[in-house]
Structure 1
Amino acid sequence: MIPVAGFDGATVAVLGLGRTGLSASRALQAGGAVPVVWDDNPEARAMAEDEGFEVRDLNREGAFENVASLIVSPGIPHLYPEPNKVIAASYAAGVPVDNDIGLFFKSFANGAWANFDTPPRVVAITGSNGKSTTSALIHHVLEVAGKDVQLAGNIGRGVLDIDAPGDGGVVVLELSSYQTELARALTPDIAVFTNFSPDHLDRHAGIGGYFAAKRRLFAEGGPDRAIIGVDEPEGVFMAAQLSEGAIDDRVIKVSAERKLSGPGWSVFTRKGFLSEYRKGRQIASIDLRNIKGLPGSHNHQNACAAYAACRCLGLAPKLIEQGFASFAGLPHRSQVIAQADGVTYVNDSKATNVDSALKALQAFDNIRWICGGLEKEGGLDALKPGLPNVRKAYVIGREAAQFAMKLDGVESAICTTMEAAVAQAVEEAEKGDTVLLAPAAASFDQYDSFEKRGDDFIARVEVCLT
């Protein structure tokens, strides 16, 4: 646990008692604060009471009297589409609002570091797509290299639940826009921006607000190294804004679409080969084509970002390559779950938006595509470059018919349920086909999470193949 510093003897309110809220409450208590907690869910409040925390209704008048700060879980809106009423009350009372990420960065360092040869470092990863895979890949490579490393944030453990790192330890954090948007402290040693595409637009009042939330990771604390994906205009802008000149190697540019030139530091892929360039010269190269855990150009982009981060931490290219080779990938992210009779079955349930689904469609050929769900803003037009790879779409979700109508030129079956979609796709699949779940939509019309949706796909495939 990372005890929260700066609140010894002070009362700190915590709103939201899921994993994040309970973790923050424990860490506040460990640091000497007095947490008072609230959640609209009675079961969550009961769990907190069982742990001995004081439950205080933060909706009542005067609830913020003598409260030093309010700590908010990431799913609770604090500005758009409108502030939660508890957060609005804290604003009115002049009580600062923060989250567990802000508490972590304020409390991470401690006096023991004075005796370390190498201070612990934090690598923080954000972006629209690929941040989970990039984070897990960095963590895996560092583990293979024998480093003291922990994975936390939006993946792995809660940031305040991790162990205090030892000499030379590394903490790898995946951070969503919900987390970067509100944290009052953001001071990673290395910050990674994978890519950018529209998402969570309601929460951020449009694409500008969404980008601003991501940008805070780089603008608030000023990381020692910034690794920036430059395949979108937002990345190009941010790299240019952070750099002091062409030879400024504090900014490392990453691309999965083109060779990067110039005297600076860059990592890119072309035709499945990763290349590192510094001062206009190639330093190293890795063949990514046969690494099963990193299929497709989108995973090659993740590999470039992870490679750059590991190089910043002092790892040799050959050691990084060894880590890549043994990386198995993450569940629900281009996860090969079965191969039978020449047909490959891939679970990419995490492809909850159009951009991530497009990358999945471009990673495979002869696709029997299971898609659909709760469609997000922006429509499906951006999928068009990947549709030539689709032999047939099997559409699920409560609005499957409307979803299918938007897939111009693609033969579609209105299946509605996962059971029906998988059964028909398995029956019709031929040797050389890929049955791919890449929904291009949220799961909440039928499932509690994309994980539940992916698990259902895996279960249905297993039934059909046995």
Structure 2
Amino acid sequence: MQLNKYKSQNVAVFGLGKTGLSVINALISSGARIYAWDDNEGQIANAKTICKECNFIHPKKYNWHEIGTLILSPGVPISYPMPHWIVKLARSFDCKIKSDIELFLEAKTASQKVIGVTGTNGKSTTTSLIGYILKSAGRKVAIGGNLGLPVLDLNRDAEIYVIEFSSFQLELMNEINVDISVLLNIAPDHIDRHGNIENYIAVKSRLVEGSKVAVIGCDNEFTAEIFDKFTGNKIPVLASILPFLSFQSSNTGIQLGHVSDMKINLVSNAENIAAAYAVCKLLKIDSNIIIDGIKSFPGLKHRNEPLGKIENVLFVNDSKATNAKSSEKAILSYKNIYWIVGGKSKEGGIELLSKHFTRIRKAFLIGESTEAFANTMENKVDYMKCCNLENALKLAFREAINNKEKITILLSPACASFDQWKSFEERGEAFCKMFENLRNAFTITCAV
């Protein structure tokens, strides 16, 4: 993406992870002069090997009177619990603070459409599903943002951009202008960053307010209220009445067909499917193409992902479930569950899941949240404290394989991964490898 507006301009970039490096690359190719920094010395050292044209100088030594814009990475807080020091410094000189997505929206052409997707849960699946259907319809599509590639690395010639927005990214933006927004749901999350649920809701609402048409999930109390208050063009989607999709403009639904025809789990993806259908209809995609796309969509890795069976035991990787509301969808998809749960807990823990404990045969607790979750489960569901994922899987399988009933061993942590892993992806990949090792060992044992 060419950022011609910044040619010969002095621009500061703070945060040198994937997003920051993407920004630097786009700005350098557009002829800007870059001043780059990070709190992490390792990130600076890495960036120096990649970005030879940058000025790596501590921001306190910048001549801020000559710097027009500071581009922040999403991980840098601008308000709660307090603005990062670089934010305070830039504001003291009235320097504009922007995000990479804002640069992208400035640079795209008027004919290129942008679909923005957000929500607490399901946004990655919905973003991917919309892109998948549009590609199958022959549209030239690019998918990125919080999911996959940073927006400035996307194909500049795409006809439609499908962008996932996190609350961190939305918080950074001064202006938002997208053709279609999707707000799926809201549940308490990232409260340590936003301070309280009201601030979190306000940040998520910004995408709706900055769109020409808003597709809003109305099964959720927070988003239903946003729908009612929003005075712009809007379409409600109600996942609760699938296999039919509800639209404001029509009293008739579109039947998707038999559940068995789909590769993804309908129970955990109902809201995502409904939203994707609504967006694609707005873009005038034929209904048959949309439905065929929904049926053939393979789903996302680490999201309610069936790995395979060993005898009577099904293994499911739902490592992407980093809060209780997300885990709820996977729990409702199965019965006789041996639940591997735990990690760095979010606000509220797993209290809201207690109404589903009858589906849990036994819970295997891991990570930092072990004691808190044990207290929640006391006298409600059988549990075992396992410390880590490897122990939990071994103990769960040992019990499940001796059970004649069909059992699902479900990794759905309802927690962030950062107590024991770098990311939910690393946690999920580890679980996949453990499953493969277990299956291979079991096969060899049976053969002997």
TM range (shorter): over 0.9
From 152, 163, 166, the equivalent of 1:173 is 163
Say if 1:288 and 1:387 are closer, same or farther in 2 by CA, change over 3 A.
farther
> Which residue does 1:247 correspond to in 2?
none
> Which residue does 1:139 correspond to in 2?
131
From 221, 227, 239, the equivalent of 1:239 is 227
Say if 1:410 and 1:292 are closer, same or farther in 2 by CA, change over 3 A.
farther
Tell me whether 1:201 sits opposite 2:191 in the alignment.
yes
Moved more, 423-432 or 153-162: 423-432
Report the AA paired with residue 70 of structure 1: L
Say if 1:153 and 1:279 are closer, same or farther in 2 by CA, change over 3 A.
closer
- Per-residue CA distance 1:64-111 (angstroms, 9 max, x = gap): 2311010000011111111111111111111111110111111111xx
Tell me whether 1:294 sits opposite 2:264 in the alignment.
yes
Report the AA paired with residue 387 of structure 2: T
Tell me whether 1:317 sits opposite 2:317 in the alignment.
no
> Which residue does 2:443 correspond to in 1?
none
Confirm or deny: 8 A CA contact 1:380 1:407 kept in the other structure. no
Tell me whether 1:30 sits opposite 2:18 in the alignment.
no
> Which residue does 1:254 correspond to in 2?
237
Report the AA paired with residue 251 of structure 1: K
RMSD: 1.7
From 375, 378, 393, the equivalent of 1:422 is 393
- Where in structure 1 do 4 or more consecutive aligned residues deviate above 6 Å? none
Tell me whether 1:465 sits opposite 2:439 in the alignment.
yes
Aligned equivalents of 1:311, 1:29: Cα separation in 2: 39
Aligned equivalents of 1:368, 1:435: Cα separation in 2: 5
Aligned equivalents of 2:138, 2:382: Cα separation in 1: 50
Report the AA paired with residue 191 of structure 1: S
Confirm or deny: 8 A CA contact 2:345 2:368 kept in the other structure. no
Residue aligned with 2:91, SS: helix
Report the AA paired with residue 393 of structure 2: V
Unaligned regions of 5+ residues in structure 1, if any?
Answer: 114-118, 245-249, 258-268
Aligned equivalents of 2:280, 2:251: Cα separation in 1: 19
Tell me whether 1:162 sits opposite 2:165 in the alignment.
no
> Which residue does 1:100 correspond to in 2?
100
Residue aligned with 1:90, SS: helix
Tell me whether 1:10 sits opposite 2:9 in the alignment.
yes
Confirm or deny: 8 A CA contact 1:72 1:97 kept in the other structure. yes
Report the AA paired with residue 449 of structure 1: S
Confirm or deny: 8 A CA contact 2:338 2:409 kept in the other structure. yes
Aligned equivalents of 1:64, 1:84: Cα separation in 2: 17
Aligned equivalents of 2:11, 2:301: Cα separation in 1: 36
Tell me whether 1:348 sits opposite 2:348 in the alignment.
no
Aligned equivalents of 1:300, 1:288: Cα separation in 2: 13
Moved more, 200-209 or 57-66: 57-66
> Which residue does 1:328 correspond to in 2?
298
Aligned equivalents of 1:313, 1:209: Cα separation in 2: 32
Higher helix share: 2
Say if 1:213 and 1:134 are closer, same or farther in 2 by CA, change over 3 A.
same
> Which residue does 1:184 correspond to in 2?
174
Tell me whether 1:377 sits opposite 2:377 in the alignment.
no
> Which residue does 1:265 correspond to in 2?
none
Aligned equivalents of 1:401, 1:42: Cα separation in 2: 36
Confirm or deny: 8 A CA contact 2:365 2:387 kept in the other structure. yes
What is the TM-score of this pair, normalised by structure 1? 0.89
Moved more, 339-348 or 124-133: 339-348
Aligned equivalents of 1:194, 1:5: Cα separation in 2: 34
Identity among equivalent positions (%) equals 36
Report the AA paired with residue 427 of structure 2: R
Aligned equivalents of 2:369, 2:151: Cα separation in 1: 38
Residue aligned with 2:377, SS: coil
Give the drift of 1:286: 0.8
Give the drift of 1:307: 0.7
- Per-residue CA distance 1:366-394 (angstroms, 9 max, x = gap): 10100011112223211112211100001
> Which residue does 2:39 correspond to in 1?
40
Residue aligned with 1:160, SS: helix
Aligned equivalents of 2:345, 2:254: Cα separation in 1: 42
Give the drift of 1:302: 0.6
Confirm or deny: 8 A CA contact 1:296 1:360 kept in the other structure. no
Confirm or deny: 8 A CA contact 1:288 1:294 kept in the other structure. no
Give the drift of 1:287: 2.6
- Per-residue CA distance 1:103-125 (angstroms, 9 max, x = gap): 1111111xxx6xxxxx2211110
Say if 1:289 and 1:47 are closer, same or farther in 2 by CA, change over 3 A.
same
From 449, 458, 461, the equivalent of 2:423 is 449
Report the AA paired with residue 435 of structure 1: I
Aligned equivalents of 1:19, 1:348: Cα separation in 2: 25
Confirm or deny: 8 A CA contact 1:36 1:53 kept in the other structure. no
> Which residue does 1:211 correspond to in 2?
201
Say if 1:402 and 1:204 are closer, same or farther in 2 by CA, change over 3 A.
closer
> Which residue does 2:338 correspond to in 1?
368
> Which residue does 1:19 correspond to in 2?
18
> Which residue does 1:123 correspond to in 2?
115
Say if 1:60 and 1:366 are closer, same or farther in 2 by CA, change over 3 A.
same
Say if 1:280 and 1:54 are closer, same or farther in 2 by CA, change over 3 A.
closer
Aligned equivalents of 2:357, 2:262: Cα separation in 1: 23
> Which residue does 2:64 correspond to in 1?
64
Confirm or deny: 8 A CA contact 2:236 2:248 kept in the other structure. no
Give the drift of 1:145: 1.6
Confirm or deny: 8 A CA contact 1:361 1:387 kept in the other structure. no
Report the AA paired with residue 239 of structure 2: A
From 381, 386, 406, the equivalent of 1:410 is 381
Give the drift of 1:59: 4.0
Give the drift of 1:280: 4.2
Confirm or deny: 8 A CA contact 1:45 1:55 kept in the other structure. no
Give the drift of 1:401: 3.4
Confirm or deny: 8 A CA contact 2:20 2:73 kept in the other structure. yes
What is the TM-score of this pair, normalised by structure 2? 0.93
Aligned equivalents of 1:4, 1:391: Cα separation in 2: 56
Aligned equivalents of 1:202, 1:276: Cα separation in 2: 35
Give the drift of 1:326: 1.1
Report the AA paired with residue 242 of structure 1: F
Say if 1:235 and 1:101 are closer, same or farther in 2 by CA, change over 3 A.
same
Aligned equivalents of 2:223, 2:124: Cα separation in 1: 18
Residue aligned with 1:325, SS: helix
Confirm or deny: 8 A CA contact 1:106 1:185 kept in the other structure. no
Aligned equivalents of 1:94, 1:313: Cα separation in 2: 40
Give the drift of 1:278: 5.6
Moved more, 273-282 or 442-451: 273-282
Report the AA paired with residue 181 of structure 1: E
